[in-house]
């Protein structure tokens, strides 16, 4: 039964960029997986604090649909929100199976590959020099690739960390850094540089770095070479790209600044129940590009607090577990969770099952890893 759910899950991911099949996945395959899981193990929906908090968020947002400015729009958005919740529960459940962890991380990587393949299928990609160039990705959101790359990067590190081969780690790290910069230039997405570069470096240090004189010298030499060789090349590309212009852009002139201002104004007028799910977009013809603000303006402070409590609990437990176990895996989970919290400042994750699902794979893996650690400790 678990393998059947995993196969359906893989099918959804592989065809996530095919509109017709993706619609079938949303309205048929995801409900089938949900029903199968209910019949097989219904306790998973409420037996975990993370999923319970997430369920409270969904219930509260559904309640605010009743008082929404435009209830029809709000209820249509609830379909997406509910699909993301169900997909997250399924993701968490699959991640609770030790035999599936490796395959789930591979699926996360495949998810990015499918997205990138779709984006590049219309022709050769070029470095974005104008705003119009951001529409070259065959219907794929330019910023969207940044968020999927974030998940794929963490998945790659979790897969290779078991191999005690330093040269492999450094080779993968360099390739990820180069590709991240390349994707940032293609999409003119500032968050790729803001998130990817420090994420990759921190994961590298946590995975294999030990504070020995030889390692410190090698790290210094490697970093110096990358900066010495890479910066002139990157600077040249930046000066001739849309990304360079966006990096130097005044924050007060950025479109997102006005979205933040409008969202705060609306939240001030509707602090408890908000405007209703997706109603901000209807009024301002653009969503907030910020999960926290989107929840606040959609369903009031309670919705935002539910989401923040979910993330902060995950971050806190990783710190607590690392202090207790000294296992660096929990440092990796902590780094991931911290960057996830920052990433949600730049986009709205809660209405997209492809963005929430991978998060709960990693949450589920953290819970499983800790349970196995406790079990092994008691047995020994």
In terms of pLDDT, which residue wins out, 46 or 360? 360
Tokens encoding 342: 């920052």
* pLDDT tens digits, 77-108: 999 999 899 999 999 999 999 999 999 999 99
* pLDDT tens digits, 141-186: 778 888 999 999 999 999 988 776 667 788 888 889 889 988 888 8
Instruction: Give Dmax over CA atoms of the chain in angstroms.
Output: 63
DSSP structural state of residue 131? G
Distance CA 11, CA 38 (A): 20
Span 5-25, mean pLDDT? 83
* pLDDT tens digits, 277-291: 999 999 988 889 899
Q: Determine the pLDDT at residue 257.
A: 80
3-state SS assignment for residue 349: coil
Quick one: pLDDT band at residue 72, thresholds 50, 70, 90? very high
* pLDDT tens digits, 334-352: 999 999 999 999 889 998 8
* Consecutive H or E run containing 354: helix 353-379
* Consecutive H or E run containing 286: none
Tokens encoding 161: 């960390």
Domain range list for the chain: 2-379
* pLDDT tens digits, 279-332: 999 998 888 989 999 999 999 999 999 999 999 999 999 999 999 999 999 999
> Which of 217, 234, 238 is closest to 226 using CA atoms?
234
Q: Determine the pLDDT at residue 211.
A: 57
Q: Determine the pLDDT at residue 26.
A: 77
DSSP, residue by residue, 35-102 = HHHHHHHGGGGTSSHHHHHHHHHHHHHHHHHHT-SSHHHHHHHHHHHHHHHHHHHHHHHHHTSGGGHH
Q: Determine the pLDDT at residue 139.
A: 76
Span 55-76, mean pLDDT? 95
pLDDT tops 90 at residue 373: no
Span 352-362, mean pLDDT? 93
Distance CA 354, CA 356 (A): 6
Q: Determine the pLDDT at residue 252.
A: 60
Distance CA 134, CA 123 (A): 14
44-53, 66-75, 187-196: range with highest mean pLDDT: 66-75
Question: 200: Cβ–Cβ under 8 A, 6 or more apart, which residues?
Answer: 153, 173, 176, 177, 180
Q: Report, in this order, helix, strand and coil percent for the chain, each rounded to 5.
A: 80, 0, 20
Residues 46-72 as b or e (16 or more Cβ within 10 Å = b)? eebebbebbbbbbebbbebbebbebee
Span 178-205, mean pLDDT? 87
* pLDDT tens digits, 215-255: 666 666 666 766 666 666 666 666 667 777 766 665 566 77
Distance CA 140, CA 325 (A): 42
Vertex 41, ends 50 and 351: CA angle to 5°? 45
Burial class (CB in 10 A: 0-12, 13-18, 19+), 335: buried
Quick one: pLDDT band at residue 43, thresholds 50, 70, 90? confident
pLDDT tops 80 at residue 136: no
Distance of CA 156 to the CA centre of its chain: 14
């Amino acid at each position: 039964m678990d393998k059947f759910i995993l196969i359906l899950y893989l099918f959804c991911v592989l065809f996530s960029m095919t509109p017709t099949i993706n619609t079938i996945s949303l309205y048929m395959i995801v409900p089938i997986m949900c029903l199968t899981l209910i019949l097989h193990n219904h306790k998973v929906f409420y037996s975990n604090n993370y999923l319970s908090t997430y369920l409270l968020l969904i219930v509260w947002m559904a309640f605010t649909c009743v008082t929404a400015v435009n209830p029809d729009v709000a209820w249509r958005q609830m379909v997406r929100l509910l699909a993301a919740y169900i997909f997250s529960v399924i993701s968490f459940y699959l991640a609770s199976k030790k035999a599936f962890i490796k395959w789930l991380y591979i699926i996360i990587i495949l998810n990015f590959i499918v997205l990138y393949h779709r984006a590049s299928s219309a022709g050769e990609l070029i470095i974005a020099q104008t705003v119009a160039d951001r529409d070259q990705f065959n219907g794929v959101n330019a910023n969207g690739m940044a968020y999927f790359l974030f998940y794929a990067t963490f998945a790659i590190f979790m897969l290779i960390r078991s191999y005690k081969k330093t040269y492999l780690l450094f080779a993968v790290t360099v390739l990820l850094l180069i590709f991240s910069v390349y994707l940032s230039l293609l999409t003119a997405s500032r968050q790729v540089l803001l998130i990817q570069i420090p994420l990759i470096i921190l994961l590298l240090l946590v995975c294999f770095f030990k504070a020995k004189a030889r390692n410190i010298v090698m790290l210094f030499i490697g970093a110096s070479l990358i900066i010495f060789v890479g910066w002139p090349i990157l600077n040249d590309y930046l000066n001739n790209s849309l990304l360079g212009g966006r990096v130097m852009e005044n924050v007060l002139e950025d479109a997102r600044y006005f979205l933040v201002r409008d969202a705060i104004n609306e939240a001030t007028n509707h602090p408890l129940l908000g405007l209703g799910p997706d109603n901000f977009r209807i009024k301002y013809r653009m969503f907030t590009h910020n999960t926290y603000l989107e929840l606040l303006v959609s369903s009031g402070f309670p919705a935002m607090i539910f989401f923040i409590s979910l993330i902060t609990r995950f971050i806190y437990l990783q710190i607590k577990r690392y202090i207790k176990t000294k296992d660096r895996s929990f440092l990796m989970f902590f780094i991931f969770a911290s960057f996830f919290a920052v990433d949600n400042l730049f986009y709205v994750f809660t209405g997209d099952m492809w963005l929430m699902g991978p998060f709960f794979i990693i949450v589920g893996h953290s819970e499983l890893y800790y349970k196995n650690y406790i079990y092994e400790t008691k047995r020994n």
